[in-house]
Amino acid sequence: MKIAALKEVFPGEQRVSLVPTGASALVKAGLQVLVEAGAGTAAGFRDDDYIAAGATVVPREEALAADVVLAIRACGAAGEQWAADRDRLRSGCVVVGLCDPLSAPLACREAADRGLTLFALELVPRTTRAQSMDVLSSQANIAGYRAVIVAAAALPRILPMMTTAAGTLTPAKVLVLGAGVAGLQAIATAKRLGAQVSGYDVRPAVKEQVQSLGAKFVELPLEAAACEAAGGYAKAMGEDFYARQRDLLGRVVADSDVVICTALVPGQKAPVLVTADMVRRMRPGSVVVDLAAERGGNCAGSKPDETVVVDGVTIVGPTNLAADVACHTSQLYSKNVVTFLTHLVKAGLPEVDPLDEIGRETLVARAGTLVHPRVRERAGLPPLEPAAAATAS
């Protein structure tokens, strides 16, 4: 079986789906590994490193002809660049990568129409067994760290308390909205840098996690027991809930020097947590880093991949912080994808065992059919008949 890692072509994407140590692991597992020339250069991995690991460096056309194609961004996550590759992949090719299936179901349907077998890594189940394959968590972890560094660079003051002969400087106040993987890492990083840190999340269950990192948990008098969906993700709530939440959060935001927004609901527009009025009430020079900017933003006024100043407040809207530190995020992604692919191969790839939760939950398209129930629903397709679903998997 030939496994190929592609060079990313999405603007600004510097990561690579397979690093040399990952290539070596696949070669030792008995797989033939191809790597597109220059695929790892932006992340700090040379073609010679891959050759030393046992891989073969090839042009893109040869990589696209492999049995399994690995990518950071495929299908909907690759934007306009996906169409050219999709039309060059042969029917039956297995594509593994981030595919944005819940927000771009039609791109997944087009992949199905081409006869591609599509595995979307966003859909890896959040179970103990699949934890080592969870690319969303590994990448969000670094994005949370990076968000604090970006905020610190934009803030016209330092984060820690400092006592000098000229007087004592008070620590900056950092508020992190959302205590998922990115949020918790942002809290930990801000705390390590000496800031006074608070964290807020609609899920009461994360209070202990926030406090364990030395931060204060912001408690609001809201009924939040039903805010957590299956798998530990936050669930979308009604507008009345968000309106009440914004009203109560206003004074906390106004007292913060830095607000880092990380609140996302999978496959849906991000909830607005910081309104224009809340931004106006913040001190001039304050900074908001909105990690949800690509999904509409948690902060009013944030723009994807832009830095804007509104009423003296700097609002940063990065959409791919993981790519800023491509060496380490590529290492993590590669480990995730090698573990995932090894699991699929042991389970019988190119066949997919319908009893295997990991393969079943990540399989989006196969044998010309869009097979994932939630993606079919987003694409406006009816549920598959049981017989058809069994045939596709």
Those residues with Cβ within 8 angstroms of residue 196's Cβ, 6 or more apart along the chain or in another chain: 171, 172, 173, 174
Catalytic residue, candidates 49, 103, 137, 360: 137
Catalytic residue, candidates 32, 81, 103, 131: 131
Q: Which two tokens stand for residue 201?
A: 């999340």
Catalytic residue, candidates 233, 255, 311, 356: 233
Catalytic site includes residue 137: yes
Catalytic site includes residue 247: no
Catalytic residue, candidates 85, 134, 201, 257: 134
Q: Which two tokens stand for residue 298?
A: 């948690």
Catalytic site includes residue 233: yes
Sheet strands side by side (includes 216-217): 216-217, 196-200, 173-177, 258-261, 287-290, 313-316, 307-310
Q: Degrees (nearest 5) of the Cα angle 164, 166, 169?
A: 60
Q: Which two tokens stand for residue 316?
A: 């940063």
Q: Which residues pair with 325 in a beta bridge?
A: none
Report d(CA 291, CA 305) in Å as an integer: 10
* Residue (of 3, 13, 10, 6) closest to 320 by Cα position: 13
Catalytic site includes residue 103: no
Q: Which residues pair with 199 in a beta bridge?
A: 176, 217
Enumerate the H helices of the chain as residue ranges: 20-28, 47-52, 60-64, 82-86, 105-113, 135-154, 181-192, 207-212, 239-254, 276-281, 326-346, 357-362, 373-378, 386-392
- The number of angstroms, rounded, from the C-alpha of 84 to the middle of its chain's C-alpha atoms is 24
Report d(CA 371, CA 349) in Å as an integer: 17
Report d(CA 93, CA 72) in Å as an integer: 16
Catalytic residue, candidates 88, 90, 126, 251: 126
Report d(CA 37, CA 40) in Å as an integer: 8
Question: β-strand 173-177 against 196-200: which pairing, if any?
Answer: parallel
Report d(CA 313, CA 122) in Å as an integer: 33
Which residue numbers are catalytic? 126, 131, 134, 137, 233
